[in-house]
Structure 1
């Protein structure tokens, strides 16, 4: 359960504001005006604090509650500008296009890939296979994970496919995320970027039906229960 203790606004107002921001192409100032038209007076800086405070917590619940995913994965990364520098948004979907997990990193190397793989395995289990492009970091990370599994005494191994064709599904899936990020013109801090992307990815999962059918906002609000 996500705690709203100490908040000066009702929980539903906060959840509506956070969901509206991560789901639709609006700025904080746009959202401030939209809420004011509905009788809710809240500063755009407060809206930013709500996203930073609650979006990641709600995303963590979404990971635990999402529908079961397939053991065949597609792994790739895209670029996000933070403090004027490019960072790497690692993303993975299964063979049906369902979101597995995501992680923002300042680095694109074996260590980052291993950290992302460990995060995915903890929430989705060990995959049977993983398709990647020709990225050397992704290749090294998967080799490192297989070596770690062998060292731990596991007889299981992740089969690795380096295929642009197989990876098209995750590259196409990037578009939904990039479409929402583009109007933001970059992020001012890694913390803010991580929280906002957590929210955007969660809203994207809801669109795919990974958290049930019905009203999208109802699905998002249920994460706080």
Structure 2
């Protein structure tokens, strides 16, 4: 018998649907460009009556737990990073999603911040380095804030320092990767709160990384992306 992740089991105590129904609805929401009402209609066709607002509540409760589980199973990434930020609308205002990929297109990490400045960029790099260790090279665009953040990190480091490259052309890889994230966000019609945006973006990023093969699986197994997502609950 499969044992549930204790944190997932704790969340389920306050919910009133089977876990498999909840996981399917949450996965559909973060894996595809669907609105909550689309998901409500899809599950009704399968004989399950779930209000769209309930699906939203499930996502906010479950995704933080699944994100922690995914980070424990995430594969290592390369040492050459391409970092960039993109704009996300939250409560009618533009916020900044910092992201990076390695030279093979694997996602390094992500961080939503209210401002686009040296402090935000440094917080992103510190978070990514804590998860993956320091890279050998980071490619950024002409952003002065990102450059200042990396220079500050290098100033606090012992050798070797991180090599910094500034090239918009070399950053095409991460800019293209932004599109996959923003495509899934579009039907969500913006986020009402910063907390909601942070949680749902993390779910979208997790599903995107799973699709790119960034989750460790048992040796000799080749589960589908859906099954890998469901495994995070165990």
When normalised by structure 1's length, the TM-score is 0.94
| 3-state DSSP of counterpart to 1:80 | strand
Write out per-residue CA displacement over residues 123-180 of structure 1, whole angstroms, 9 at most, x where no aligned residue.
111111100000111111101111222xxxx222111000112211101111111111
1:158 aligns with 2:170: no
Which residue is equivalent to 2:211?
207
Alpha-carbon separation, structure 2, partners of 1:167 and 1:122: 23
Instruction: Specify which of 129, 137, 140 is matched with residue 132 of structure 1.
Output: 140
Tell whether the 8 Å contact from 1:64 to 1:123 is kept in structure 2 after alignment: no
Alpha-carbon separation, structure 1, partners of 2:64 and 2:162: 29
CA-CA distance at 1:56 after TM superposition: 2.5
CA-CA distance at 1:78 after TM superposition: 0.4
Instruction: Specify which of 77, 82, 89 is matched with residue 74 of structure 1.
Output: 82
1:218 aligns with 2:223: no
1:53 aligns with 2:61: yes
Alpha-carbon separation, structure 1, partners of 2:73 and 2:67: 10
Alpha-carbon separation, structure 2, partners of 1:26 and 1:4: 27
- Alignment root-mean-square deviation, CA: 1.2
| 3-state DSSP of counterpart to 1:29 | helix
1:195 aligns with 2:199: yes
Count of aligned pairs = 221
Uncovered stretches (5+) of structure 2, i.e. residues with no partner: none
Q: Write out aligned runs for 1:90-109 (5 A).
A: 90-109=98-117
Alpha-carbon separation, structure 2, partners of 1:145 and 1:222: 36
When normalised by structure 2's length, the TM-score is 0.91
Which residue is equivalent to 1:169?
173
Instruction: Specify which of 130, 139, 142 is matched with residue 122 of structure 1.
Output: 130
| 3-state DSSP of counterpart to 1:3 | helix
Closer, same or farther: CA 34–224 of 1 in aligned 2, 3 Å: same
CA-CA distance at 1:54 after TM superposition: 1.4
CA-CA distance at 1:204 after TM superposition: 0.6
